[in-house]
């Protein structure tokens, strides 16, 4: 005896948003007083051998759709227009999964 099970689902329901990560870092040569303070605090905690600390930002962003290339272009625009100030900062966009 055979049972046929009909699965009625929409492909869309299984689609998870893509996860992206935008990393914003200070350009070389830009003074980073906060990084310097952290560097000092690490030394005070007894961590020897810390050369230098530069503080940056990480943005984890979920984007809809499945087209990674398109999402990446869009995220690059987000980074350039808002997430980073390109006068002093660089950014890197990755699609994480």
Partner 1 sequence: MKSAVVVFPGSNRERDMVAAIEKITGHRPVTVWHGDHDLPKVDLIVIPGGFSYGDYLRSGAIAAREPIMGAIAREAERGVAVLGVCNGFQILCEAGLLPGVLMRNAGLKFICKEVELRVETTASQFTRGYAKGAVIRSPVAHGDGNYRTDDETLARLKGEDRVAFRYVDNPNGSVDDIAGILSEKRNILGMMPHPENLIEPLNGGTDGKPLFEAALSAVA
Residues that bind partner 1 in the complex, under the rule CB under 8 A: 30-31, 33-34, 37, 81-83, 85, 87-88
Shortest CB 70 distance to partner 1, Å: 23
Non-local (6+) Cβ contacts of 75 within 8 A are: 20, 22, 61, 63, 93
Residues 67 and 15 sit within 8 Å (Cβ to Cβ):
no
Shortest CB 60 distance to partner 1, Å: 15
| CB closer to partner 1 out of 16 and 41 | 41
| CB closer to partner 1 out of 56 and 66 | 56
Strands 57-63 and 18-26 turn out to be antiparallel
Shortest CB 57 distance to partner 1, Å: 8
Residues 82 and 20 sit within 8 Å (Cβ to Cβ):
no
Residues 23 and 60 sit within 8 Å (Cβ to Cβ):
no
Shortest CB 49 distance to partner 1, Å: 24
| CB closer to partner 1 out of 34 and 66 | 34
């Amino acid at each position: 005896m055979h049972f046929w099970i009909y699965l009625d689902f929409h492909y869309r329901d299984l689609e998870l948003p893509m996860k992206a990560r935008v990393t914003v870092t200070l350009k070389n040569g830009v003074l980073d007083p906060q990084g310097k303070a952290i560097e000092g605090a690490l030394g005070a905690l007894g961590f020897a051998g810390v050369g230098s600390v530069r503080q940056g930002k990480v943005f984890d962003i979920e984007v809809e759709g499945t087209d990674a290339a398109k999402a990446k272009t869009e995220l690059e625009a987000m980074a350039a227009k808002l997430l980073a100030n390109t006068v002093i900062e660089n950014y890197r966009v990755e699609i994480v999964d």
